[in-house]
Amino acid sequence: MTRVQTGTIGVLLTTLALNCAALAGEKTAWRLFVSDHSEPIVNVIDLLKQEKIETFATKAPARLYRSKTGRTVLAVQRGADLVTAIDSGISFEDHGDHGDIKVKPPRLLGVEIAGKQPSHVVEYGVEIAIFFDGEGRARIASERMILESKSVLRETAAGVPHHGVAVANDRYTLISEPNVRNSDELPIGIKIVDKSGTQIGGVHSCPDLHGEATSGNILVFSCATGLLVASMDGSAPQVKHLPYAAALPSGKTTTMLGGRGLQYFLGNYGSNKVVLMEPTDVEPFRLVTLPMRRVDFTVDPVRAKFAYVFTEDGRLHRLDVITGKLDGSLRVTEPYSMDGHWNDPRPRLAVAGDMVVVTDPARGVVALVDTMSLTKAGEITVGGRPFNIVAVGGSGQTHDD
């Protein structure tokens, strides 16, 4: 009896100690923003509670883009000629020796950036450039302005409609040069314009330009012939062409992601490969052959040496970007064949803290996989056909609550 009481007190004391620690302020919050393949909605899921906390109506099914800070999620609705800004509700403030986290309900910011056929969104520094294919121009916004419910800082001059891209800093914009003989084809290069719209220098050739990413201070675009490697740090942007290594099989990358923590790029290359690219390395290209055709891939922003690739047999693979080898895999969903339309609903990936999150549109759920053990860590019912996904969150202190 006495022993039991002592034990109970011990448990109580431990609980109190934990509560005090919690009050003193460590907080973790993660949210998933998940759009539907065919419905015009964006669902918001609290990852720790494992439940849906909000559903925002959009005008058309959306592709989602998260800002680098994670404070803003942009819902790009090509079918409605509109980009809608959502405040993720999670923000961090640097207090020097620690960071504070603030968690509020997610909300629509009332900012809608309209224009014909919005496509690629690129954030560089504080500028977010949204390209509108139907107008051949970009509208450039900043996260600070969007959060103040103001939208566009400036826009480039209208051009020939084409599927393009722009990247801006406070002085210059890199913008795709359309194929004027046939603007249904991909762009032929990149040109630099200043704020007044004056072109600086010639067009930097990049046949079949599609795909762009940043990693650290390097920006790359992919071309049929290799990469355009750009730096926008100096007084004027510098752009160089890096050809694919002669040893690579014929192919090209058309979608790229930039490493976080480590400076590298990960791109597709043919249907059953990915390519690791380090533009400043002596051997800048390393191919990784996958066991099956690729569905989606993502980089781990925290465990910098890992990236994840999902293949059509329903398996998630972990890629060690240092060794260039797959170092584990897990069956997560039923197979999703890559035969059929490119835009059929298939899984998409995001990394949220210690989890890789996999949308499973056929079952209306998102599956959670532990990044370290590569074991299933649960699933959350979303309903509909969950498709594009971004994750925001992290941990911080809350001492000013």
Binding site for Zn ion (CB under 5 A): 95, 100
Which is closer to Zn ion, CB of 106 or CB of 396? 396
Which is closer to Zn ion, CB of 95 or CB of 154? 95
Structural element, H or E, at residue 31: strand 26-36
CA distances to 105, 176, 182, 187, 192 from 142, in Å: 22, 20, 33, 26, 20
The least distance separating Zn ion from the CB of residue 174, rounded to whole angstroms, comes to 16
The least distance separating Zn ion from the CB of residue 92, rounded to whole angstroms, comes to 10
The least distance separating Zn ion from the CB of residue 151, rounded to whole angstroms, comes to 23
Question: Phi and psi at residue 10, in whole multiples of 5°?
Answer: -55, -45
| Angstrom distance (rounded) from CA 389 to CA 396 | 23
Which is closer to Zn ion, CB of 60 or CB of 145? 60
Q: Which residue is nearest to Zn ion (CB)?
A: 95
The least distance separating Zn ion from the CB of residue 119, rounded to whole angstroms, comes to 5
Q: Position of tokens 């504080």?
A: 126
The least distance separating Zn ion from the CB of residue 155, rounded to whole angstroms, comes to 20
Which is closer to Zn ion, CB of 78 or CB of 318? 78
The least distance separating Zn ion from the CB of residue 125, rounded to whole angstroms, comes to 22
The encoded tokens of residue 25 equal 């302020």
The answer to whether 132 and 155 are in contact (CB under 8 A) is no
The least distance separating Zn ion from the CB of residue 102, rounded to whole angstroms, comes to 10
The answer to whether 305 and 324 are in contact (CB under 8 A) is no
The answer to whether 308 and 287 are in contact (CB under 8 A) is no
Strands 238-243 and 256-258: unpaired
| Angstrom distance (rounded) from CA 258 to CA 244 | 18
Which is closer to Zn ion, CB of 100 or CB of 320? 100
Which is closer to Zn ion, CB of 54 or CB of 100? 100
Which is closer to Zn ion, CB of 210 or CB of 286? 210
Across the beta sheet with 365-370, the strand order is: 349-352, 355-360, 365-370, 376-381
Residue partners of 295: CB distance under 8 A and separation at least 6: 310, 311, 312, 336, 338, 346, 347
